[in-house]
Chain A
Amino acid sequence: MSGVDLSSIVKKYGAFQVVHGIDLTVAEKEFVVLVGPSGCGKSTTLRMIAGLEEITAGDLTIDGRRMNRIAPKDRDVAMVFQNYALYPHLNVADNMAFGLRIRKMPKAEIKTTIDDVAGILGLTEYLDRRPADLSGGQRQRVAMGRAIVRHPKVFLFDEPLSNLDAKLRTQMRAEIKRLHKRLGVTSIYVTHDQVEAMTLADRIVVMNDGRIEQIGTPMELFNNPANTFVAGFLGSPPMNQVKGVLTAKGAKIGETEIKIDGVTAADVGRAVTVGIRPEHVALKAGKGTSALPIDLDLVEPLGSEALLHARFDNNEMVFKAETHGDIGHLSGVTDIHVDSSLVKLFDGETGQALNLGG
């Protein structure tokens, strides 16, 4: 029903094309996150859905209705802006009521709506305050309140948390997720922060250079990245990527060989990128592991885990290791044991994922 459908959406500024034909279907009540580096076209895409940018070509439908030429106000969508766009001359209640007044909602109805939403967001006692007198988190909530009061079919979020400090961001992230569960409104959320994308999304859309690289649930994307870009973008620290060559037993990186099952004879000698998640390693050899000899560079303790920065065959790599309350035992590490079953292989030229024997 209140789904959003993008089909071959293109955006051009003069001769300069920023979005190269995007296809995306957002189901009703779904929370979809568009993520990618800056300039990848994610915000432009969101703004086209909002009606703030003209769509150069392609079709946008919301709730089954073609929206290409419909004014933003008639699309029944609400947007939370990166800088919140709260009117500094209006108090919280008036900020939230702004759209309702313009739409000539009866006064009494406005009041009950605002009171309801303020209750949900915990803003009841701040209704008389001006935005300047609110904390960052409160402003963020008002910005969301202003979107919620309109009961739109779709919520659009344009990097709403990027102006908050790290702690508040984590807190507001959880609040947005809770709110989405409670209201169940279709939401499209733009961010460049992969952690936000992972934690919030029902499905993530990874974009790069005006194109979609991959669409899927957070875990699908984490476990099976479609290409080196997605692999490098999701996960913190990102997946280690090293150049190698396929052999009959696995992949050879420099002088070291990692055992991988299912390499067919035809693939032997093929140039590949070997992807190793920092998490998918151990300090001791186990079943199905391959050893990588490393030169340990630096140990960064994070608490229960530590990051090991190391050189392996002229590659800078990062691994995660358990500290067990002490990092002393990590300083002498000379070998890292990779869980072969979790190693990812990508085509050496195209960067697309290789599925061996699958």
Chain B
Amino acid sequence: MSDQHIPTDGRLVRLYDHFKREWQIYVLLLPMIIWFTVFLYKPMYGLQIAFKDYSIFKGIADSPWIGFEHFQTLFGSDQFMRALRNTFMISMLSLCFGFPMPIILALMFNEITNQVFKRTAQTIVYLPHFISTVIIAGIVITAFSPTAGIVNAVLEWFGIEPIYFLIKPEWFRPIFIGSGIWQEAGFSSIVFLAAIAGVNPSLYESAVVDGASRWQMMWKITLPSILPTIIIMLIIRIGNLLEVGFELIIVLYQPATYETADVINTFIYRQGVQGAQYDMAAAAGLFNAVVAFVLVMTANTISKRYSRTSLW
């Protein structure tokens, strides 16, 4: 039967038929494709200025090529190298301190038996996620102000001299990372809570019969059960290592704290948008994007190997 000749319509006829019947799908698809082309793919064409001596008057296409000059300048510049270092430092620190918090919170929420208390607490700890960066910055600036702020007021009770937190480079990272935890720890715990909710309840029941305590069950059942989720989330975090919340930095930092606060994106912002050195800033951006791309792809590959499901 399989070698029997089956007469079918020609390819073109079928294609014509398809578009005649399904043209509406393509109409629905079109606005999105146009948007992606104009706003995300066209700028990729504009990335070539990273290798050009870009002049606004000549435009992207007509500016002369200069090869890797901008990259050489960047890697020879203390400012860029500092930004690079700071980006990794801030990322690593927020990974170390910020990553475990949502997991701990989720485990703790899971142990709460009073539903009203649980729901109220969850509602409150999720809230900061929805607060804008500017307001977070505003709160930080107000609270850490040397004269008006509550933090220095508290220090004063303990007889400690007021500290000008926001102009001290050594205080920038703790404040930045702390406010990040305050804003996102609660909301990020949702993923882990969902993973915990998926744990088979009979595991706990048999553990209770075996005489396990709550504490033991948390360590021996809950935590191992959500380990895959934890690892996936960790891989995602590492993949996005370069994505530092630079918007908050822009509002919070000042020249006095650049030393510890200036990251790649704030550097690009100052060089490009404020300093109009578009080509050099684009080169820094391209470097950032390529490293990020490699990180994300690596993370995805690892995750595929680990969980047999891709992150996307």
Asked if A and B form a direct contact in the complex, defined as CB atoms under 8 angstroms apart, the reply is yes
Contacts of B6 in A (CB 8 A): 10, 12, 56-57
Say whether B7 faces chain A, with CB atoms less than 8 Å apart: yes
Contact A57 B8 (CB under 8 A): yes
With both chains docked as a complex, state the minimum distance between the C-beta of B169 and any C-beta of chain A, in angstroms: 57
Report which of A20, A57, A69 forms a contact with B17, defined as CB distance below 8 A. A69
How far is it, in angstroms, between the C-alpha of A104 and the C-alpha of B143 when the chains are bound?
65
Contacts of B58 in A (CB 8 A): none
Contacts of B4 in A (CB 8 A): 21
Contacts of B21 in A (CB 8 A): 71
Contacts of A17 in B (CB 8 A): 1-2
With both chains docked as a complex, state the minimum distance between the C-beta of A313 and any C-beta of chain B, in angstroms: 36
How far is it, in angstroms, between the C-alpha of A56 and the C-alpha of B8 when the chains are bound?
6
- Chain A residue, CB-CB nearest to B1: A20
Contacts of A57 in B (CB 8 A): 6-8
How far is it, in angstroms, between the C-alpha of A184 and the C-alpha of B291 when the chains are bound?
70
Contacts of B2 in A (CB 8 A): 17
How far is it, in angstroms, between the C-alpha of A17 and the C-alpha of B6 when the chains are bound?
11
**A66-79 vs B, Cβ < 8 Å mask (1 yes, 0 no):** 00010100000000
How far is it, in angstroms, between the C-alpha of A12 and the C-alpha of B2 when the chains are bound?
11
Contacts of A20 in B (CB 8 A): 1
With both chains docked as a complex, state the minimum distance between the C-beta of B11 and any C-beta of chain A, in angstroms: 13
A interface bracket (residues with beta carbon within 8 Å of B): under 10
With both chains docked as a complex, state the minimum distance between the C-beta of A30 and any C-beta of chain B, in angstroms: 27
How far is it, in angstroms, between the C-alpha of A21 and the C-alpha of B3 when the chains are bound?
13
- Chain A residue, CB-CB nearest to B18: A54
With both chains docked as a complex, state the minimum distance between the C-beta of A253 and any C-beta of chain B, in angstroms: 34
Contacts of A12 in B (CB 8 A): 6
How far is it, in angstroms, between the C-alpha of A55 and the C-alpha of B6 when the chains are bound?
11
With both chains docked as a complex, state the minimum distance between the C-beta of A15 and any C-beta of chain B, in angstroms: 9
- Chain B residue, CB-CB nearest to A211: B1
How far is it, in angstroms, between the C-alpha of A10 and the C-alpha of B9 when the chains are bound?
13
Contact B8 A21 (CB under 8 A): no
With both chains docked as a complex, state the minimum distance between the C-beta of A256 and any C-beta of chain B, in angstroms: 39
Max chain A C-beta neighbours (<10 A), residue from B1, B6, B8: B6
- Chain B residue, CB-CB nearest to A17: B2
**B1-30 vs A, Cβ < 8 Å mask (1 yes, 0 no):** 110101110000000010001000000000
- Chain A residue, CB-CB nearest to B9: A69
With both chains docked as a complex, state the minimum distance between the C-beta of B21 and any C-beta of chain A, in angstroms: 6
Contacts of A56 in B (CB 8 A): 6, 8
Interface residues of A in 1-54 (CB under 8 A from B): 10, 12, 17, 20-21
- Chain A residue, CB-CB nearest to B2: A17
With both chains docked as a complex, state the minimum distance between the C-beta of A337 and any C-beta of chain B, in angstroms: 43
With both chains docked as a complex, state the minimum distance between the C-beta of A14 and any C-beta of chain B, in angstroms: 12
How far is it, in angstroms, between the C-alpha of A328 and the C-alpha of B4 when the chains are bound?
59
How far is it, in angstroms, between the C-alpha of A270 and the C-alpha of B7 when the chains are bound?
41
With both chains docked as a complex, state the minimum distance between the C-beta of A164 and any C-beta of chain B, in angstroms: 29
Contacts of A10 in B (CB 8 A): 6
- Chain B residue, CB-CB nearest to A15: B2
- Chain B residue, CB-CB nearest to A58: B6
How far is it, in angstroms, between the C-alpha of A17 and the C-alpha of B2 when the chains are bound?
8
How far is it, in angstroms, between the C-alpha of A20 and the C-alpha of B6 when the chains are bound?
10
Contacts of A69 in B (CB 8 A): 17
How far is it, in angstroms, between the C-alpha of A57 and the C-alpha of B4 when the chains are bound?
12
Contacts of A21 in B (CB 8 A): 1, 4
- Chain A residue, CB-CB nearest to B5: A57
**B119-130 vs A, Cβ < 8 Å mask (1 yes, 0 no):** 000000000000
How far is it, in angstroms, between the C-alpha of A69 and the C-alpha of B8 when the chains are bound?
12
How far is it, in angstroms, between the C-alpha of A10 and the C-alpha of B1 when the chains are bound?
11
How far is it, in angstroms, between the C-alpha of A145 and the C-alpha of B229 when the chains are bound?
46
Contacts of B17 in A (CB 8 A): 69
How far is it, in angstroms, between the C-alpha of A17 and the C-alpha of B1 when the chains are bound?
10
- Chain A residue, CB-CB nearest to B4: A21
With both chains docked as a complex, state the minimum distance between the C-beta of A48 and any C-beta of chain B, in angstroms: 14
How far is it, in angstroms, between the C-alpha of A71 and the C-alpha of B21 when the chains are bound?
8
How far is it, in angstroms, between the C-alpha of A20 and the C-alpha of B1 when the chains are bound?
7
Enumerate the 10 nearest inter-chain pairs by beta-carbon distance, A residue then B residue, closest first: A57-B6, A20-B1, A10-B6, A57-B8, A57-B7, A56-B8, A17-B2, A71-B21, A69-B17, A56-B6
Known: A10-B6, A20-B1, A21-B4. 8 other contacts (CB 8 A): A12-B6, A17-B1, A17-B2, A21-B1, A56-B8, A57-B6, A57-B7, A71-B21
A-B CB contact pairs (8 Å), 14 listed? A10-B6, A12-B6, A17-B1, A17-B2, A20-B1, A21-B1, A21-B4, A56-B6, A56-B8, A57-B6, A57-B7, A57-B8, A69-B17, A71-B21
